[in-house]
Structure 1
Amino acid sequence: MATFPRIISVDDHTVEPPHVWLDRLPSKYHGTGPRIVRAPVKEMSFVGGKFAPKMGAEGDDGPIADWWVYEDLHRPLTRLDTAVGHSRDDIRLEGITYEQMRPGSFSVPERLADMDVNHVQSALCFPTFPRFCGQTFTEAKDRELGLLGVRAYNDWMVEEWCGPQAQGRLIPLTLVPLWDAELAAAEVRRNAARGVSAVCFSEIPPHLGLPSIHTDYWDPFLRACDETGTVIAMHIGSSSKMPSTSADAPPAVGSTITFANCCFSMVDWLMSGKFDRFPHLKIMYAEGQIGWIPYILERANVVWEENRAWGGVADKVLRPPAELFAEHVYGCFFDDAFGLRNLDAIGVGNVLYETDYPHSDSTWPKSREVGESQMGHLPADVVERIVRGNAIELLGLTGEGLWAGSRS
């Protein structure tokens, strides 16, 4: 491919610097709010889709890691949080310190440099410590502190991570307090007023102990997104329950079927009636890949056509699911040759590109090469749309592919 477009990645990640909450929370919360403590790792496992770390005490034997400590939570930074720059065979589930990770994981100037190496112009970044839709704060005991924690993260995301030094190349993605739909709506509107166009949400809220989207609970939040043009971004794992087959299944099983939650979630949305009630709503699935989408749309259409009378959707899903998908849903991929060979069954306008920096699945620093090898059969204008054009339109970026909010 003679010229490959500069990439706009809609799924990268930031590892929050230690100061994020210490700088932004009232001093009375410095002992209970999120903070970094360096300590040994006593135990750590990831089996059956469950991550289980145990923090050692000072003086204990064991590898040293930087731990996020928040109320009763102890969560170490791990090599899986930031694996780029390491051989795939050397990536293990192990605790690390900030000094042991690639600086682009948490530093804006170094991130921009790593984006340059990878032919990436702009990037939308999901959180690490808050988890992919802010579950960390949702599970906290102190709701007042949790709300302050969400707002502090959002302020850091907009003002610092995506601030002037990012030159418009980092696109803000914010959190909401999931435990209160009205507060969530208010946070969407607060951030939309300063140019934010995307918000994290859970792929399957009931896994977090929250109401499903088939209820009216989320309507204030959905209305705020609909009215402000805020895209709802759902990352694999944003329900705190990675797909697995058994309690003793190795991580490789879950890693192979990570798309499953996206699949379940998309069917939920297509059969919820929400797109007819909120006609401007847009949702995207980060890191779910796209090859599975054609069959699900085919099956959903058949169910809607043949079984809607007894299927509980006749009075609320007013159009074929595939038609709703075309208008409201976006699939995101970084390595999916099969999906690209079946692009016509998905829709050129419903596909976004990502690099997953700095995670172990990331195609950094060869995202351009991967894209060229998998998209070589596609016309140049189609490649342009997938790699950057669709993201520009969906996220309201400038024609050059930059976030305009950082210029204000």
Structure 2
Amino acid sequence: MDERLISADSHVKLTHAQVKDHLPARLHEAYDDAAGAYEQRMSRGTGAANRAGAEQAAKRSDKGIASDNSVFGRAGYWDPAERLKDMDLDGVDAEVLYSEVSAFRYLSDVKDGVAETVQAFNDTLHDFASADPQRLIVSYQIPIHDIELAVAEVDRVAARGAKSLQLPVFPSELGQADYYDDRYDPLFAKIQDTGLPICFHIGLKTTLDDLARRDPTPNKGVMVPMTPLMTGEAFGMLIMGGVLEKFPGLKVVFVEPGVAWVGWWLEVVDDMATRQRYKFPAISELPSTYFRRNINLTFIDEHLGLHRMRDIIGVDNLMWSTDFPHPVTSWPNSRKIVDEQFVGIPADEREKIVCGNAARIWGL
């Protein structure tokens, strides 16, 4: 029990009522309209992939349990005091937390109250963390529709002691330019100055809609494994698009992208830049250089990536997580599962992956 475990990816459930508690009454109706329209898009209006995701989310609500190993019904999902007890039971010292709701998909739609609504949502996250800010590390969501507002919100949450920021993975899905566009320069400059990590939590990508429609399996088993692989697009935009060239001090975390395939991706893009002579005018080093310097990955239980690819990807770039309370979670047996996962891995590398890297990135 002397070993410290830090989960680089766990989840918290917020309610719209909690967010509205931080909003003036005049904005409640506008908030409900924006949130309701988003939920309608998720369930009916944006395609098969998002419908599949909405159906899965509905099954995982606190009204029921998705599968035998799901713990969505535990109070620790939404009650911070109970969460700390669940962490103690699991032997986990600290968790980096992500809201189940990608609120930056609808916060900008709240008429005449976007800034107040963004603040209200993040204040709700802050409330959860306030039970123990050293152990509950919430990732504050930063919408990207209005860069001036985004910069102001980074300043605001940083002043309140924020340790983690979350941005959308794919700006194009929100009708915005990709991250290599100069419009983001003030935001990335501000984040670099704060030293806070940018976290990108993967999710269903709308470009998978057609595949989800064609998938003949009941649970979208053809489409779902493709979801993490889409992260290669986001890697490329940040690296070959020149974002990490311009802002070398950024700390970037990709959450749940899978691990093993990333070793292949790094080999391919470096080969493109050298032997195949692809032109990447926005960067001056090999793509893998920026990856290993700036990008970190979380994983849950992935033997191939951990045992065969960790040296290729970089031991300093990998972080373990419980993914509490999703069905794949290692709770409440994380210490046992970690021991099983790390058989044969040197102790110094294990220490980095289960706690050291996360402690460095989030300043824990």
Q: Which TM-score tier does this pair reach, normalised by the shorter chain? A: 0.7 to 0.9
Give the drift of 1:167.
Answer: 5.4
Query: Corresponding residue for 2:60?
Result: 80
The SS at the match of 2:29 is coil
CA–CA distance in structure 2, aligned partners of residues 337 and 228 of structure 1: 35
* 1:116-155 equivalence runs, <5 A: 116-129=88-101, 131=102, 134-138=104-108, 140=109, 142=111, 144-155=112-123
Give the drift of 1:270.
Answer: 1.4
Query: Corresponding residue for 1:177?
Result: 143
The SS at the match of 1:173 is strand
CA–CA distance in structure 2, aligned partners of residues 253 and 295 of structure 1: 21
Amino acid at match of 2:59: R
Query: Corresponding residue for 1:392?
Result: 359
Query: Corresponding residue for 2:250?
Result: 281
Give the drift of 1:317.
Answer: 0.6
Conservation of the 8 A alpha-carbon contact between 2:143 and 2:150: yes
Amino acid at match of 2:105: Q
CA–CA distance in structure 2, aligned partners of residues 205 and 282 of structure 1: 19
* 1:250-261 equivalence runs, <5 A: 250-261=219-230
Give the drift of 1:5.
Answer: 2.7
CA–CA distance in structure 2, aligned partners of residues 214 and 53 of structure 1: 28
Give the drift of 1:19.
Answer: 3.5
The SS at the match of 2:211 is coil
Give the drift of 1:197.
Answer: 2.6
Conservation of the 8 A alpha-carbon contact between 2:70 and 2:327: no
CA–CA distance in structure 2, aligned partners of residues 47 and 103 of structure 1: 32
What is the aligned-residue RMSD (CA, Å)? 3.1
Amino acid at match of 1:101: G
Q: Deviations over 1:55-77 (max 9, x none)?
A: xxxxxxxxxxxxxxxxxxxx997
CA–CA distance in structure 2, aligned partners of residues 116 and 395 of structure 1: 20
Closer, same or farther in 2 for the Cα pair 1:244/1:252, shift >3 Å? farther
CA–CA distance in structure 1, aligned partners of residues 75 and 115 of structure 2: 29
Conservation of the 8 A alpha-carbon contact between 1:81 and 1:359: no
CA–CA distance in structure 2, aligned partners of residues 120 and 188 of structure 1: 28
Q: Deviations over 1:70-118 (max 9, x none)?
A: xxxxx99723356997644899xxxxxxxx8321111011111111222
Higher strand share: 1
* 1:177-196 equivalence runs, <5 A: 177-196=143-162
Conservation of the 8 A alpha-carbon contact between 1:85 and 1:102: no
Give the drift of 1:141.
Answer: 5.2
TM-score (ref. length: structure 1) = 0.78
Conservation of the 8 A alpha-carbon contact between 1:351 and 1:386: yes
Identity of aligned residues (%): 27
Amino acid at match of 2:106: T
Query: Corresponding residue for 2:320?
Result: 353
CA–CA distance in structure 1, aligned partners of residues 32 and 168 of structure 2: 21
User: Mean Cα displacement is larger for which, 254-263 or 342-351?
Assistant: 254-263
Conservation of the 8 A alpha-carbon contact between 2:10 and 2:98: yes
CA–CA distance in structure 1, aligned partners of residues 255 and 318 of structure 2: 11
Conservation of the 8 A alpha-carbon contact between 1:84 and 1:360: no
Q: How many residue pairs align between the two structures?
A: 354
Query: Corresponding residue for 1:217?
Result: 183
Higher helix share: 2
Closer, same or farther in 2 for the Cα pair 1:244/1:258, shift >3 Å? farther
TM-score (ref. length: structure 2) = 0.87
Q: Deviations over 1:151-173 (max 9, x none)?
A: 11112222x1111x225210121
Aligned to 2:346, which of 367, 379, 393?
Answer: 379
Query: Corresponding residue for 2:25?
Result: 27
